[in-house]
């Protein structure tokens, strides 16, 4: 039992956070709760502290919209938050699509899909930065925040919070795509919001750290990691995970039986030493 | 022939492929957004910027939706055929009750709902809101048949200002009056209380976005009988246009290409 808890504790906390946030947002709309009003695009905590999606704001800027002070304040709050907890902590602790893609990835492993397709992935993980760039160009040309009109993340979140239609189709497509076409396809390759937070994550404070002395090279961490390219140092060098693509989901920490991975704070000295 | 591509060539080809794919996706993406935001019949919350700017500015957070005590507003879901995620209302279902404190507007974090557009003398004033304009269909409005109904008139929060009743003689019976509702475009806020109250099967008075129903005379028309309008003449500059008149005689012109054109 203890072992079970140990190897799923972060997963539990993540699901707990993701679902609690959904409930708080839902409650605000359905029963007038004040904790967390709005949705992931923009919200207020207790009606006072503003929070806004910095990527949405960036698209609005590209589209030539005037950014209101409230919006900018909200962007600042969110940017600071993820600067501390790790850019893509949004992905593994908040984003509702993460539950869908994690599930797809779980089923994929279960039915042996990964054996069928082999280890070599047919698409580049850099794709998301192209999508990110493209979204800004399309925003500028169309004069509208381009990704916000197609984002399956906002659609799903709005759908749940406001009890309106979700665009089931979009979510299903992502699920099937991740399951049958490309492992970690959406979150690990395409999603421009994930791409945006990856960039922010390059500078953020809380990082996973590898202690090579304890490592027994079981490679369990690399199997569970949705972005396993960031774990290139496993068994080779004691290093923190410096890539912003790490989602701080902590799956690697909890599956490691040998205490070779843990959370740590990024220190500037470390960065210099490794030349990142 | 099976010579491997040089690194340089590979790089260039890869770049070209990347740019090509990006351009293609960019076009598809743009076309989709163009379609997705084309819905013209969308009524926005009070104080909304004009549609183009509204679509640019609204972040789709739904704070306005949550603030409305009457559940008037909702966010467009896939399948609503409206710009996705943006707030709108359908007056026949739930109209805007024109709250005097307009709770939906100040909560907007982006200014897509513009407080200054619903403010007079530094106080929020819902009466200057402009969500749309009520249009009466004289064919289906029973008041125009001679049947007495003033449901819309009584429902209007700006009773006797935005809707008035016009009396005229019913020639058919010779002894009754028509009590016809007339909407005044300058005052109507487009709240939709009238459409909501209308007693006909399908409302005979409907709210439409203003730019859809209202025209524009053009600045060269001036109401000579209106002192205010006349003032526009003060800054008017004379514009001379010269059209060159053909030097040919009419006969020349008739003879010129006529036959060639015919055969
Ligand atoms: S990559 Fe995108 S969809 Fe996936 S968890 Fe992150 S933000 Fe959500
Ligand atoms: S003015 Fe009142 S009724 Fe009308 S949309 Fe705003 S909150 Fe709702
Ligand atoms: S509060 Fe403003 S930004 Fe949010 S959905 Fe309403 S209009 Fe859009
Ligand atoms: S929409 Fe109808 S009820 Fe509202 S102000 Fe206009 S005429 Fe009056």
Q: Point out the ligand nearest to the CA of residue A60.
A: 3
Cα maximum dimension of chain B: 101
A273 vs A25, more confident:
A25
For residue B254, the model assigns a pLDDT of 66
Let me know: does A121 contact A182? Beta carbons within 8 Å. yes
CA dihedral B240, B246, B251, B256 (to 10 degrees): -130
Cβ of B80 within 8 Å of Cβ of A165? The answer is yes
Number of domains in chain B: 2
- Enumerate the residues of chain B whose CB falls inside 8 A of the CB of residue A130: 18, 22
Confidence of residue A89 (pLDDT cuts 50, 70, 90): very high
Distances (CA, A) of B40 to B52, B80, B112: 11, 13, 18
pLDDT average, residue stretch A215-240: 90
Q: List the residue whose alpha carbon is closest to atom 7 of ligand 1.
A: A194
The whole-number average pLDDT for the span B98-103 is 95
Residue A100 at interface with chain B, using a CB cutoff of 8 Å: no
Q: Measured between CB atoms, does A162 come within 8 Å of chain B?
A: yes
- Which residues in B lie closer than 8 A to residue A52 (C-beta atoms)? 59, 61, 109
Determine whether the interchain pair B66/A28 forms a contact, defined as Cβ–Cβ distance below 8 Å. yes
Whether residues B155 and B126 fall in one domain: no
DSSP string computed for B170-183 = ETTTSSEEEEEEEE
Considering chain A, what percentage of its residues have pLDDT values greater than 70? 94
Q: How much is the pLDDT for B14?
A: 83
Query: To the nearest whole percent, how much of chain A has pLDDT over 90?
Result: 62
Is the domain of B66 the same as that of B100? yes
From B56, B65, B111, residue closest to A144, measured CB to CB: B56
- Chain B: closest CA distance from residue A118 (Å): 24
Domain boundary among B114, B130, B146: B130
Tokens of A110: 């279960």
Are B120 and B160 in a shared domain?
no
* A150: CB partners within 8 A, 6+ apart: B29, B32, B33, B36, B84
DSSP 8-state assignment for residue B202: S
Q: What is the pLDDT at residue A275?
A: 43
Residue B249 pLDDT greater than 80, yes or no: no
Please report how many Cα atoms fall inside a 13 Å half-sphere around the Cα of residue A64, on the Cβ side: 8
> Pick from B213, B237, B257: which residue ends a domain?
B213
Shortest distance between the Cα of B100 and any Cα of chain A, in A, equals: 20
Last residue of a domain, one of B213, B230, B254: B213
Considering only CB atoms, A162 lies closest to which of B18, B56, B74, namely B74
By CB atoms closer than 10 A (0-12, 13-18, 19+), residue A148 is buried
B70 and B94 co-located in one domain: yes
Q: Is position B147 within any domain?
A: yes
Residues with CB under 6 A from ligand 1: A 91, 95, 97-98, 101, 153, 186-187, 191, 193-194
Model pLDDT, residue A121: 66
Domain coverage including residue B168: 132-213
CATH number (domain holding residue B85): 3.30.70
A78 in contact with chain B, both atoms CB, cutoff 8 A = no
Residues B138 and B95 in one domain: no
Q: B7 pLDDT exceeds 90?
A: no
Inside any domain, residue B125: yes
Residue B3 above 80 pLDDT? no
Whether chain B has a CB inside 8 Å of the CB on A152: the answer is: no
Classify residue A141 by burial, with Cβ atoms within 10 Å: 0-12, 13-18, 19+. middle
Distance A71 CA to ligand 3 centre (A): 11
Q: Quick one: B149 and B100 in the same domain?
A: no
**Average pLDDT of chain B to the nearest whole number:** 89
Residue tagged 């001036």 (tokens):
B222
Q: What pLDDT does B1 receive?
A: 45
Specify the pLDDT at position A124.
85
In a domain, B241, yes or no: no
Of A29, A56, A165, the CB nearest to B59: A56
By CB atoms closer than 10 A (0-12, 13-18, 19+), residue B6 is exposed
d(CA A156, CA A173): 13
User: In this structure, is residue B258 part of a structural domain?
Assistant: no
B144: three-class secondary structure by DSSP: helix
Q: Residue A261's closest CA among A222, A204, A205, A226? A: A222
Lowest mean pLDDT among A82-91, A162-171, A257-266: A162-171
Q: What is the set of domains in chain A, with CATH numbers?
A: 2-199 (no CATH), 205-274 (3.30.70.20)
Instruction: Give the pLDDT of residue A269.
Output: 41
What CATH number does residue B146 fall under?
3.30.70.20
Chain A residues with CB under 8 Å of B52 CB are 143
DSSP symbols for chain A:
-HHHHHHHHHHHHHHHHHHHHHHHHHHHHHH--SSEEEETTEEEETTTEEEE-HHHHHHHHHHTPPPPHHHHHHHHHHHHHHHHH-TTHHHHHT-THHHHHHHHHHHHHHTTHHHHH-S--SS-TTHHHHHHHHHHHHHHHHTS-TGGGT-HHHHHHHHHHTTS---HHHHHHHHHIIIII-TTHIIIII-HHHHHHHHHHTT-SEEEEE-GGG-----HHHHH-TTGGGGTTTTT---B---TT-----HHHHH-TTS-EEEEE--HHHHHHHT-
Residues B123 and B145 in one domain: no
Cα–Cα distance measured from residue A149 to residue B36, given in angstroms and rounded to the nearest whole number: 8
- Work out which ligand 3 atom sits closest to the CA atom of B44: 7
B89 has a pLDDT exceeding 90: yes
Give the residue, by CA position, lying nearest to ligand 4 atom 3. B156
Confidence of residue B72 (pLDDT cuts 50, 70, 90): very high
Lowest-pLDDT range, A64-73, B53-62, B249-258? Answer: B249-258
Atom 6 of ligand 1, nearest CA residue: A91
- Characterize the bridge pairing of strands A49-52 and A206-210: unpaired
Same domain, B90 and B152: no
- DSSP H or E segment with residue B25: helix B7-36
Specify if B114 maps to a domain.
yes
Confidence class for position A40, pLDDT limits 50, 70, 90: very high
- The reply to whether B250 falls in a domain is no
Residue B183 is assigned to a structural domain of this protein? yes
In this structure, are B82 and B103 located in the same domain? yes
Q: Is B4 a member of any domain?
A: no
Answer whether B58 contacts ligand 3 (Cβ < 6 A).
Answer: yes
A165 or B178: whose pLDDT is higher?
Answer: B178
Confirm or reject contact between A38 and chain B (CB < 8 A).
yes
State whether B46 and B126 are in the same domain.
Answer: yes
């Amino acid at each position: 039992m203890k072992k079970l808890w140990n190897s799923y504790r972060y997963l539990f906390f993540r699901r707990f956070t993701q679902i609690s946030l959904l409930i708080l947002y839902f409650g605000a709309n359905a029963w007038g709760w004040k904790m967390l009003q709005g949705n992931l695009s923009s919200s207020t905590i207790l009606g006072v502290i503003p929070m806004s999606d910095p990527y949405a704001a960036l698209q609005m800027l590209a589209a030539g919209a005037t950014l209101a002070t409230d919006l900018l304040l909200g962007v600042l709050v969110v940017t600071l938050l993820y600067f501390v907890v790790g850019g893509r902590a949004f992905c593994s602790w908040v984003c509702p699509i993460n539950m869908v893609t994690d599930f797809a990835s779980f089923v994929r492993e279960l039915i042996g899909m990964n054996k069928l397709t082999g280890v070599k992935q047919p698409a580049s993980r850099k794709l998301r930065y192209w999508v990110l760039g493209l979204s800004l160009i399309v925003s500028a040309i169309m004069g509208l925040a381009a990704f916000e009109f197609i984002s399956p993340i906002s659609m799903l979140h709005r759908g749940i919070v406001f009890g309106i239609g979700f665009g089931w189709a979009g979510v299903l497509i992502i699920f099937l795509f991740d399951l049958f076409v490309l492992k970690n396809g959406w979150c690990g390759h395409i999603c421009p919001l994930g791409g945006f937070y990856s960039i922010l994550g390059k500078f953020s404070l809380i990082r996973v750290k590898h202690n090579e002395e304890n490592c027994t090279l079981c490679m369990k961490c690399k199997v569970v990691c949705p972005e396993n390219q960031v774990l290139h140092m496993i068994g080779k060098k004691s290093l923190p995970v410096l890539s912003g693509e790490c989602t701080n989901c902590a799956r690697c920490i909890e599956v490691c039986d040998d205490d070779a991975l843990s959370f740590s704070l990024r220190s500037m000295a470390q960065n210099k030493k490794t030349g990142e | 022939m099976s010579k491997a591509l040089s690194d340089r060539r590979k790089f260039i080809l890869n770049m070209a492929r990347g740019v090509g794919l990006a351009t293609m996706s960019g076009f598809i993406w743009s076309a989709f957004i163009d379609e997705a935001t084309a819905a013209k019949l969308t009524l926005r919350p009070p104080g909304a910027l004009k549609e183009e700017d509204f679509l640019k500015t609204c972040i789709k957070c739904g704070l306005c939706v949550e603030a409305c005590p009457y559940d008037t507003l909702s966010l467009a879901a896939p399948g609503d055929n409206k710009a996705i995620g943006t707030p709108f209302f359908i007056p026949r279902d739930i109209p805007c009750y024109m709250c005097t404190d307009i709770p939906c507007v100040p909560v907007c974090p982006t200014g897509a709902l513009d407080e200054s557009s619903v403010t007079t003398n530094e106080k929020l004033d819902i009466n200057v809101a402009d969500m749309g304009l009520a249009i009466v269909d004289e064919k289906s409005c029973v008041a125009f048949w001679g049947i007495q109904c003033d449901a819309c008139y009584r429902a209007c929060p700006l009773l006797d200002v935005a809707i008035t009743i016009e009396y005229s003689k019913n020639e058919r019976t010779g002894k009754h009056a028509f009590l016809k509702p007339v909407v005044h475009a300058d005052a109507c806020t487009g709240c939709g209380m009238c459409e909501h109250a209308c007693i006909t099967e399908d409302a005979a008075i409907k709210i439409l976005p203003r730019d859809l129903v209202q025209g524009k005379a053009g600045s060269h028309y001036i109401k000579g009988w209106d002192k205010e309008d006349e003032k526009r003449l003060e800054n008017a500059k004379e514009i001379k246009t010269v059209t060159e008149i053909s030097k040919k005689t009419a006969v020349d012109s008739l003879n010129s290409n006529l036959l060639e054109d015919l055969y």
